[in-house]
């Protein structure tokens, strides 16, 4: 089976019910895998204004590059909503597979798969993403195409949900990158495409190794404004992620 056909098969197989996108726990992934690299990532998202104002999610991931094509991770998500106590919402496992580069266009490709066990009233979720990256000089563009489905929903009561996560940044001074990102919906089986919501805003990324430390640090921050139907949820989102990486 050719790789593009395999990717399409996996994404279709994941179709089903899903929580609305974009989510506070979402980030834009690249498809790259580094053999022997261990990572600890903590990321946080907060919602401001609107019906979901005050909602917040914190995700903790531990990752390891098994080889040059496979990275595995364990994930925990902590969620809080207005008027409710903060709770552990999910524990899960994820894998990123680097598929290679499309020679004609110079786009690197990968596949992301995650299974999350829902806790405290949350659904179990299976999620798939097609990961794309284009790097040229100081520019890097990332695109994630997302399909998500909860597991265990009664037959006939579910519907597929589709989304995207996009990032475009340019390297400026040293290891500082500036640009923009967008997290949004393509819709679901009841309303695919058409008018959909999104969060769009500036993005700041920095990656470096303090002094002679063997640990590399990456910081990714953004302030995203709601557009379209997402304004019914809130006015904006604050995103912050910090990652520590060491190669063995």
**Which residues of the chain fall below pLDDT 70?**
1-22, 154-160, 189-195
What is the structure's pLDDT at 228?
85
How many angstroms separate the CA atoms of 57 and 24, rounded? 6
pLDDT the model gives residue 1: 46
Tokens of 18: 């899903």
Q: Give, in degrees to the nearest 5, the angle at Cα 69 between 241 and 65.
A: 50
Tell me the pLDDT of the chain averaged across its residues: 87
> What span, in angstroms and rounded, lies between the C-alpha atoms of 182 and 100?
25
pLDDT at 111 (0 to 100): 98
d(CA 84, CA 91) in angstroms, rounded, equals 20
């Amino acid at each position: 089976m050719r790789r593009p056909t395999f990717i399409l098969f996996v994404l279709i197989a994941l179709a089903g019910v899903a929580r609305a996108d974009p989510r506070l726990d979402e980030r834009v992934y690249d498809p790259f895998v580094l053999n022997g690299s261990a990572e600890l990532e903590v990321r946080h998202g907060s919602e401001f204004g609107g019906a979901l104002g005050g909602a917040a999610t914190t995700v903790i991931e531990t990752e390891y590059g098994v080889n040059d094509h496979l990275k595995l991770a364990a994930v925990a998500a902590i969620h809080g909503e207005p008027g409710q106590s903060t709770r552990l919402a999910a524990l899960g496992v994820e894998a990123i597979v680097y598929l290679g580069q499309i020679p004609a266009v110079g786009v690197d490709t990968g596949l992301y798969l995650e299974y999350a066990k829902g806790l405290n009233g949350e659904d179990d979720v299976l999620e798939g993403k097609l990961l794309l990256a284009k790097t040229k000089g100081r520019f890097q563009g990332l695109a994630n195409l997302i399909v998500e489905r909860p597991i265990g929903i009664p037959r006939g009561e579910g519907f597929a949900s589709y989304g995207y996560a996009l990032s475009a940044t340019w390297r400026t001074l040293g290891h500082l990158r500036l640009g923009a990102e967008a997290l949004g919906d393509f819709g679901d089986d009841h309303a695919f495409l058409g008018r959909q919501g999104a969060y769009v805003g500036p993005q700041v990324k920095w990656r470096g190794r303090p002094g002679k430390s063997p640990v590399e640090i990456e910081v990714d921050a953004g302030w995203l404004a709601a557009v379209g139907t997402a304004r019914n949820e809130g006015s904006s989102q604050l995103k912050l992620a910090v990652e520590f990486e060491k190669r063995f």
